[in-house]
């Protein structure tokens, strides 16, 4: 068995929900810039945003407004349309997480077919590489898709963790098994590993304990919901507790 180096998993807070709340009233309250500043002040090691084409939460302008305040890492998620790539390159994000979402999709609900989309993904990733931007490909825990992610030249994969979260309470060992397999393969192929979707204070610790070489988790919905009751500072502290070895 190959020994694994213990990686410090980073917490990237997805602040889309702050933008959703702001947009519900128009105006600028709550401020997404303040959210990015405060999440970092409270210990977040990255900020994630997902500007969708309909701008229903993070808007194009938010990306420009937030970027100068990021001293950790800015991760921008989205479908790699020409517009998306232009934006990511323009602000020089640290990482682009590529998702296969249709324009009006409620939330990301599946990973890429990295085999069928190989040529497209190669072009996108080469473009990101030219600009020194790390690429991460959103995938289901499927070894074929992980192999495909390696072939297209991605730096990292992001494991789509919704199925893990959905099944964790019923049978944690069964829920995590495909993720361990996919993560082991990714590690052996030299890919970095991120994870996200529906991770929460209930299921995060087990996930990171079982896969102690996750580079980054990006968490939005549960974390911002917890912050309503516990406050943002305490909430971030609790999430950090879950991921530290
Ligand atoms: N990763 C990706 C690719 C996503 O689209 C999202 C949701 O925006 C997340 C992670 C975070 O998911 P959640 O909001 O459930 O924590």
- Mean pLDDT along residues 70-88: 97
Where is pLDDT greater, at 154 or 4?
A: 154
13 CA distance to ligand 1 middle (Å): 10
C-beta separation of 220 from 13 below 8 A: yes
User: pLDDT for 203-245, tens place per residue?
Assistant: 999 999 999 999 999 999 999 999 999 999 999 999 999 999 8
Tell me, yes or no, whether 4 lies in a domain. Answer: no
Residue 245: what pLDDT? 80
- Considering 50, 73, 158, 216, which one is annotated as catalytic? 50
Residue 50 bears catalytic tag:
yes
C-beta separation of 9 from 214 below 8 A: yes
Which CATH number covers residue 209?
3.20.20.70
Q: Provide the domain limits for residue 58.
A: 10-242
Residue 221 bears catalytic tag:
no
14 CA distance to ligand 1 middle (Å): 7
16 CA distance to ligand 1 middle (Å): 9
- Considering 45, 57, 73, 77, which one is annotated as catalytic? 77
The total of structural domains in the chain comes to 1
C-alpha span between 155 and 165 (Å, rounded) = 25
C-beta separation of 59 from 20 below 8 A: no
122 CA distance to ligand 1 middle (Å): 23
User: pLDDT for 11-31, tens place per residue?
Assistant: 999 999 999 999 999 999 999
Mutate to test the pocket of ligand 1, among 154, 161, 221 (most ligand atoms within 8 A of CB): 221
Please tell me the pTM assigned to this model: 0.95
Tell me, yes or no, whether 80 lies in a domain. Answer: yes
C-alpha span between 179 and 229 (Å, rounded) = 31
Arithmetic mean of pLDDT over the chain: 95
In the block, residue with structure tokens 């600009």: 131
C-alpha span between 235 and 216 (Å, rounded) = 17
């Amino acid at each position: 068995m190959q020994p694994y180096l213990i990686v410090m998993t980073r917490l990237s807070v997805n602040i889309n929900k702050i933008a959703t709340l702001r947009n519900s009233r128009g105006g600028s309250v709550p401020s997404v810039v303040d959210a990015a500043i405060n999440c970092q002040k409270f210990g977040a090691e990255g900020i994630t945003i997902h500007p969708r084409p309909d701008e229903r939460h993070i808007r194009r302008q938010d990306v420009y407004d937030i970027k100068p305040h990021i001293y950790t890492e800015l991760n921008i998620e989205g479908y790699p349309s020409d517009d998306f790539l232009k934006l990511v390159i323009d602000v020089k994000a640290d990482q682009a997480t590529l998702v296969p979402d249709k324009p009006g999709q409620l939330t990301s609900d599946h990973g890429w077919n990295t085999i069928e989309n190989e040529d497209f993904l190669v072009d996108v990733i080469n473009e990101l590489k030219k600009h020194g931007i790390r690429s991460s490909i959103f995938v289901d825990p499927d070894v074929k898709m992980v192999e495909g992610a390696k072939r297209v030249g991605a730096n990292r994969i992001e494991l789509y963790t919704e199925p893990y979260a959905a099944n964790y309470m019923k049978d944690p060992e069964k829920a995590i098994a495909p993720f361990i397999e996919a993560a082991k393969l990714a590690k052996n192929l030299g890919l970095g590993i991120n994870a996200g979707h529906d991770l929460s204070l209930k299921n995060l610790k087990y996930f990171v304990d079982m896969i102690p070489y996750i580079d980054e988790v990006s968490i939005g919905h549960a974390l911002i919901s917890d912050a309503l009751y516990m406050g943002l500072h305490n909430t971030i502290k609790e999430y950090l507790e879950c991921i530290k070895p």
